Amino acid sequence: MRNSNLAPFWRSSVGFDRLFDLIDDTLRFEPEDHYPPYNIVRTGEDAYRISLAAAGFDPQDISVTAQQNLVTVIGRKPQGEDRDYLYRGISGRPFERRFSVADYVQVAGASFENGLLHIDLVRELPEAMKPRRIEIHTGNVVDLGKSAKAIDHKAA
C-alpha cells in the first residue's frame, strides 16, 4: 500500500485536511531513523508522557519546542571533545525527533532524569467543546412568537 491515492476522499470531504495530511505522511515510504528510542505512555484520562532515551546528553544539549499540533525534540552535543575513546558504544550523535499531537494537546512540562527526557502532555478542551447538560423545561411550550403558523394539509 505504498502507492495510496487519497484523491477520492479529498473530493468528497470538507474540513479533514489535517487528517489526510497525517495519513499521507504516514503512508509515504521513507526510511526512518529510530534514534533515540522513546516510549509514549498514557498517564491519565487526558494526560500523556513521552520518554526519550537521551543517554550521553546533558539537559542543556537538548531543546524541546512546542508548536500547534507538533512537539520537536532536538539534541546536539557540543563540538570539541578532547577524549581518546578506545570504544564508543554510547551514541552522542545529533538527533531531531518530531511528534504529532492532537488538537488541544499541550506540553505541560519537561524533565530530565536518569538519562531519560520526560515530556508531559495534557489535553485541555475549551469549555465550549466539553459536554454540558441541557435543562429540560416542563409546563407550557416555549413561545415561538408570531413566526409559528399552523399549516393545513389536504388529503392526498
Which tens digits make up the pLDDT trace of 8-43?
Answer: 666 666 766 777 777 776 666 555 678 899 999 999
Q: Which grid cell sits at 45? A: 484520562
What residue spans define the domains of the chain?
A: 1-30, 35-126
Q: Which grid cell sits at 127? A: 469549555
Q: Which grid cell sits at 132? A: 454540558
Pairing status of strand 70-75 against strand 62-67: antiparallel
Q: Which grid cell sits at 105? A: 494537546
Q: What type of residue sits at position 9?
A: F
Q: Which residue has the cell 407550557?
A: 140
Residues in CB range of 20: below 8 A, 6 or more apart: 6, 9, 10
Integer Cα distance of 33 and 31 in angstroms: 7
- Answering whether pTM is above 0.75, one says no
pLDDT of 5 higher than 70: no
Integer Cα distance of 94 and 63 in angstroms: 12
Q: Which residue has the cell 508531559?
A: 120
Which tens digits make up the pLDDT trace of 103-130?
Answer: 889 999 999 999 999 999 999 888 887 7
In the chain, DSSP assigns E strands to 38-44, 47-53, 62-67, 70-75, 95-100, 105-113, 116-123
Which tens digits make up the pLDDT trace of 57-74?
Answer: 999 999 999 998 889 999
Contact status, residue 52 vs residue 111, Cβ threshold 8 Å: no
Residues in CB range of 40: below 8 A, 6 or more apart: 48, 49, 50, 51, 99
Q: In which band, very low, low, confident or very high, does the pLDDT at 102 lie, cut at 50, 70 and 90?
A: confident
Choose which CATH entry (3.50.30.30, 2.60.40.790, 3.30.450.20, 3.30.365.10) describes domain 35-126.
2.60.40.790
Q: Which grid cell sits at 68? A: 500547534
